[in-house]
Amino acid sequence: MIKKPCISNYSVYKLKGKRIFVRADLNDPVNEKGELIGDMRIRATLPTIGYLIGAGAKVILASHMGRPKDKEPKYSLCNVKKYLSKTSPFRVHFVPSWGDEVKDTLKLLRDGEVLLLQNLRFHPGEKSNDEEFAKFLASLADIYIFEAFGTAHREHASVVSVPKYLPSMLGFLTEKEINTINKLIEQAKKPFLFVLGGKKVSDKIKLFERLIEKAQTICIGGAMACTFIKAIGYPVGKSFYEEDAVSVAKTIMKKADEIGCKILLPEDFMVAKTISENTETKYVFREEIPSDMQVVDIGPKTFEIYKKEISSANTILWNGPMGIYEIPKFSWGSKSIALAIAMSKAIKICGGGDTAEVLNSSNLISHFDHVSTGGGAFLKFLEGSDLPAIKSISDIE
């Protein structure tokens, strides 16, 4: 179990009237107008916010959204304020800028109310991990709660520097994320199946090294499959692949074979002329990818092979879509894998923003035992790497 202070172990009676800085992850997708088109991360944070409000605390709620260039209006948290005001029983105040207005509004905050700050990335000190900005944020509160697991791998001011100046602890969601992933890796019920998609092999070398020692089978899809296909000697047409990682893929497969972990690669693919909904497509076997086409999804034979592995597994971890799921024509493989995993009797855990979006668009999230709110943080933690945000909070003595 985690050896960090957690809100679950903190006396509720000590919270009344306290100013609690909650570093949350409210980074749900928005359209060009800034309107929310998803709410998974916001909803995941509500248990901690609700608990603090119920205890009579004053909640200072902070988050980033997107990767804004300067201060793009669509990434303002004003739409999160509208969402919370509409769906939550507590009162939410919002400060649209950084400066004296923040402290002036905080003075008016009553017990059981929320002050939502503007997008942290609208301030240059956030990403640069500026010490003065961290001190300013810390000056707003009495206690710090980290509840943004998706940013736990970032060394940003609100993530790693604010805890230096305040008593700090983890929220319900972050505690659950860490305990669930730890339990998965250390106590996974066999057979343990890892379904891995996404783009780059090079981003997941450490992950492969760890999981081939834990999993019995790894099913590979997404663009990274092309690097592996290239490694076994087949051409991949115009498909994206990492030339520098072909030797890495060979090493991974060799080591997996020595350990006894089975790595399955797609037997067939959907290929397309261009990346667009109206393009020409067809299914081909992996040794027949045309030189003028590119891989956009797994094929039906591959799905049947992977489905068989899914049905016989007792623990399944899924990270990364099987193809370019954002385009409906190329989403069949990802959605079919999602449904197959959802219908299995295994313990099912999913991580990564794209993978969660596949589940969300298919209304399958409720069928999974745990859907992580983390992308990069989820992968780093699976690798066994230290997460700066977690490290910045002192251990329980």
DSSP-derived pairing of the beta strands 19-24 and 315-319: unpaired
d(CA 276, CA 290): 18
Catalytic residue among 320, 323, 351, 353: 353
DSSP conformation class of 289: -
Q: Residue ranges of the alpha helices (H) in 130-189?
A: 131-138, 172-187
- The identity of residue 394, as a single letter, is S
d(CA 29, CA 46): 17
56 is catalytic: no
Nearest to residue 321, comparing CAs of 190, 208, 225? 225
41 is catalytic: yes
Q: Residue ranges of the alpha helices (H) in the chain?
A: 40-54, 78-87, 100-108, 124-127, 131-138, 172-187, 205-211, 224-231, 246-259, 300-312, 332-343, 353-361, 376-383, 388-391
d(CA 14, CA 307): 51
d(CA 241, CA 245): 8
Catalytic residue among 4, 41, 199, 214: 41
376 is catalytic: yes
> DSSP 3-state assignment of 299?
coil
301 is catalytic: no
> DSSP 3-state assignment of 260?
coil
Nearest to residue 182, comparing CAs of 378, 397, 313? 378
Determine contact, residues 171/396, Cβ cutoff 8 Å.
no
Determine contact, residues 147/48, Cβ cutoff 8 Å.
yes
The rounded Cα 187 to chain-centroid distance in angstroms is 22
Catalytic residue among 127, 135, 164, 200: 200
d(CA 260, CA 336): 27
103-127: b or e for each residue (b if 16 or more CB lie within 10 Å)?
eebbeebeebebbbbbbbbbbebbe
* Catalytic positions: 41, 200, 353, 376
